[in-house]
Structure 1
Amino acid sequence: MFSTLLIHWTITPATAPQPLINCNRCSGVKAYRSSGKFRVNANGKRIDVWLIYRCVDCDNSWNFGIFERCNRRDIEPALLQALESNDPALARRHAFDIVALRNQVGRVEAFADVAVRKRLVGGARQTATALELQLGLDMPTSLRLDRLLAGELGISRSRLQALEERRLLAVDPDGAKALRKPARQGVTIRIDLAGEPDREAIIRAAGG
């Protein structure tokens, strides 16, 4: 009989993606990183807002467009205040918007380093023979699911694949080939550890 340990992982990417831009000072394509500062330009009733980026080598600036020729009345007062005060959480959210970055510059370098907070949701450690890991992401990440699991559980990616092939590991809702895809919000991983000799070590590593 299975006794399942339910654990929630909150995954926080550590490094924001960096657009690759032709720097006119360096005379070549360079990575730019977010300064965490917004530029707000008001012209009558119209407002333009950019998140300022800096070249990693020479500090040259590039503006990532957030609002362009937007009517002031269309921006909530609290949001406008956050932009004008360089709210760190708001700047971070835009800096991690890799889809919007790619739409503006095309080439973006993504990073896979993350921090993982683990919280026991239910079940008993002593009797657990299976794990159910529920993933929550603060921001999107390019880190593959198999690399995440291998690093956090202390087992190899080949073993994860073997567990999947033996139907002892299942990923919902992605299913087949999910281990090779980036970790995503709302994904659940179920692992049957009943016959594994290092069951207790894996459970401890998972946060149990």
Structure 2
Amino acid sequence: MSSILRIHWTITPKIAPRPLISCNRCGGLKSYQCGRKFRVNANGKRIDAWLIYRCTACDNSWNFTILERRNRRDVEPALLTALESNDPALVWRHAFDSAALRDKAGRIEEFADVTVRKELLDGEPERAAALRLELRLEGTTALRLDRLLAGELGLSRSRLQALDDRKRLTVEPDGAKALRKPVRDGLAVRIDLADAADCGAVLSTACR
């Protein structure tokens, strides 16, 4: 049995990013939230599609462009069906596309609320000398890595920083200063706790 406890964490953001739009109804810069519905407009052979957002203050709408003046024959039938049926998976994918949303709106508001699903891949908590966390992020989040680890492992952020300073905590592929950056998909965190007093508690907490 490996001396490394390998755990897979699936991290799911609870709140999609919100564009900050100058609302022409209630005035001023306002946060808009995803309405979870698409609007599809077919004009002859051309198709436009938007994901609808609503002002959190007055419910005014703003359209996030998904397709613009696309020839119908260039749009896959499955995609068109998903747009017309407000497919939740497609809504989720576009709602969490922070880069595209920022490109269209200019500014966005991101959130740190997440849920974490944990799956044991290899090893036994009672025998492991080190912990390896393999992170899968579904969507995007503003949550920093050190805050995620502190909340899920029961370690203080200062303790995590001390482990990092002593090279007993490593992050791949980000490396230096990764703890202070937002969580990214595909990160792997290794923590050597072989001689730490809180080793047992941390290894047990990592998978539940």
The answer, yes or no, to whether TM exceeds 0.5 is: yes
Give the shorter-chain TM-score range. Answer: over 0.9
Structure 1 unmatched ranges of 5 or more: none
Residue 57 (structure 2) pairs with residue 57 (structure 1): yes
Separation (CA, whole Å) in 1 of partners of 2:198 and 2:181: 26
User: C-alpha deviations, 1:23-45, integer Å up to 9, x for none?
Assistant: 11111111000100000000111
Q: Give the aligned CA root-mean-square deviation in angstroms.
A: 1.0
Tell me which stretches of 4 or more aligned residues in structure 1 moved more than 3 Å. none
- The Cα offsets for residues 62-119 of structure 1, whole Å up to 9 and x where unpaired, read as 1000000011111111110000001111111111111111101111000011110000
The residue number in structure 2 matching 1:107 is 107
User: Once the two structures are aligned, what percentage of the paired residues are identical?
Assistant: 66
* Partner amino acid, structure 2, of 1:88: P
SS in 2 for 1:78: helix
Distance of 1:184 and 1:30 partners within structure 2 = 27
| Structure 2 Cα separation of the partners of residues 87 and 159 of structure 1 | 43
Give TM-score scaled by structure 1 length.
0.97
Which residue number in structure 1 is paired with residue 138 of structure 2?
A: 138
Number of positions where the alignment pairs a residue of Structure 1 with one of Structure 2: 207
**Matching residue of 2:68:** 68
Shift of residue 141, structure 1, vs aligned partner = 1.6
C-alpha deviation, 1:55, in angstroms = 0.5
Task: Tell me how far 1:126 sits from its aligned partner.
Answer: 1.6
TM-score (norm 2): 0.97
After superposition, where does 1:16-95 map in structure 2 within 5 Å? 16-95=16-95
Task: In structure 2, list runs of 5 or more residues that go unmatched.
Answer: none
- Residue 197 of structure 1: aligned partner: 197
Q: Which amino acid aligns with 1:109?
A: E
Deviation, 1:143, is: 1.1
Matched AA of 1:5? L
